[in-house]
Copies of this chain bind each other. A is one copy, B any other.
Amino acid sequence: MAYSTEKKLGILGGGQLGRMLIQAAIDFDIYIKAIDPDPSAPCKFIAHEFVNGDFKDYKTVMSFAEDCDVITIEIENVNLEALEDLEKQGKKVFPQPAILRKIKDKRIQKQFYADNQLPTAGFELTDNKDAVQKSSFELPFVNKLGEGGYDGRGVQLIRTNDDFQKAFEEPSLVEQMVDFEKELAVVVARSESGEITTFPVVEMVFHPEANLVEYLFAPAKINEELTQKATSLAKQTAECFGIVGLLAVEMFLTKNGEILINEVAPRPHNSGHHTLKANLVSQFEQHLRAILDLPLGDTSAVGPSAMVNLLGEEGHTGPANYEGMEDVLGLPGVHPFLYGKAITKPFRKMGHITVVDADFDKLKEKVNFVKQTLKVTSKNA
């Protein structure tokens, strides 16, 4: 596709990922239309057009997309039938709906890895609670809902026989526990022409309770061989899917040096948020370039970096207040990305902080300072 500012890009979803995608699109002067059921969604003020509507509804999506040239998503849980029909009508829909179907159901996703010899933790498909109990795996193991999970919901640990009570009755899968050393991620971009790039491997640290990324470092502290291995596995995964757009590939590095795919996200992802400041091109700009079939950007890092998620404090619900922000802004190489959400809730993703520092120890110190200092509270708490 030749570069044109006359194309209209429709985004299903108006959350922070859409917001940062629009921020990238502003530089390219791309006309953006976004849709979200939340009338004060993060995209509301910066989209050229904001539609307050339900992206899970067939008719709403069809009518939303009517005047769009390219359609993309910032959340997977959208009406796939509509996307499939739009694609049949000849609209550019990226990522492709067929890939969204494969990823949406964790059972199909896992089977896809197995079918394509992509390394992943051992699993069995379980049609109901009873099948979970009859699994050949030894306890403890993981039980994952096929469809409908998000940010840790729909994933649970089965430790003891008592836990079988909470096993999913809906179609799910059981997965062997991975004794991992680190959790890694690579964001891959593939354009319509098939050009492919990867961002440097990141190392993620999860919040123990919220099951959300708490912070990450880039590049991951792993040797060159493992870096290559993770990078080429991520690339291979994107190529197997044949995706157009971004694919974030989350991986486990096991204690014996294996790299296993954990799961993928076919869109900008939390594991690429540091790229907004730490790389010559950001994941958001790269997604735009990929789906508009423009040449992909240079993913080189400007230096070691980190990203800290700003989650709403426990016990605080109401108008958000960013306590300690001035102190954090006093650190060199620190930049805030607030998502424009008026209301904070426990563990709600309210923003993130990027840190760039050539010295890895200073980087860690700054991350710790940010984590200890900056709190999203509510005045009405």
Contacts and interface: CB of A to CB of B under 8 A. Distances in A.
Interface of A: 2-3, 5, 19, 23, 26-29, 45-46, 48, 277, 280-281, 285, 289, 294-295, 297-298, 300, 302-303, 320, 322, 325-326, 329-330, 332-340, 351, 356
Nearest to A358: B300
Contacts of A333: 280, 298, 300
A351 B28 CA distance: 10
A3 B336 CA distance: 12
Contacts of A298: 332-333
Contacts of A5: 320, 322, 338
Nearest to A324: B3
Contact of A335 (B285, B329, B335): B285
B26 A340 contact: yes
Copies of this chain held together in the complex: 2
Given A27-B336, A336-B27, A338-B29, A3 B297 contact: no
B335 A27 contact: yes
A329 B280 contact: no
Contact of A23 (B26, B28, B320): B26
A185 B2 CA distance: 36
Given A45-B46, A329-B3, A356-B280, A338 B27 contact: yes
Contact of A326 (B295, B297, B326, B337): B295
A262 B143 CA distance: 70
A14 to B, nearest CB: 14
Contacts of A337: 27
- Counting from the closest, the 4 A-B pairs by CB-CB distance are A298-B332, A295-B330, A29-B338, A3-B325
Contacts of A356: 280, 302
Contacts of A336: 27-28
Contacts of A335: 27, 280-281, 285, 297
A329 B46 contact: no
A294 B46 contact: no
A340 B322 CA distance: 32
A375 to B, nearest CB: 12
A24 to B, nearest CB: 10
Given A332-B298, A333-B298, A356-B280, A326 B26 contact: no
A6 to B, nearest CB: 8
28 contacts: A2-B326, A3-B322, A3-B329, A5-B320, A5-B322, A5-B338, A19-B26, A23-B27, A26-B46, A27-B335, A27-B338, A28-B336, A29-B338, A29-B340, A45-B46, A277-B280, A280-B332, A280-B333, A289-B329, A294-B329, A295-B329, A295-B330, A297-B332, A297-B335, A300-B332, A300-B333, A302-B302, A302-B356
B48 A326 contact: no
Contacts of A322: 3, 5
Nearest to A195: B330
A280 B48 CA distance: 29
B28 A338 contact: yes
Chain B CB within 10 Å, residue with most, of A23, A280, A300: A280
A351 B340 CA distance: 27
Contacts of A300: 332-333
B27 A329 contact: no
Contacts of A297: 329, 332, 334-335
Nearest to A326: B3
Given A23-B27, A280-B335, A302-B303, 6 more contacts: A2-B326, A3-B329, A29-B351, A280-B356, A294-B329, A297-B334
A313 to B, nearest CB: 16
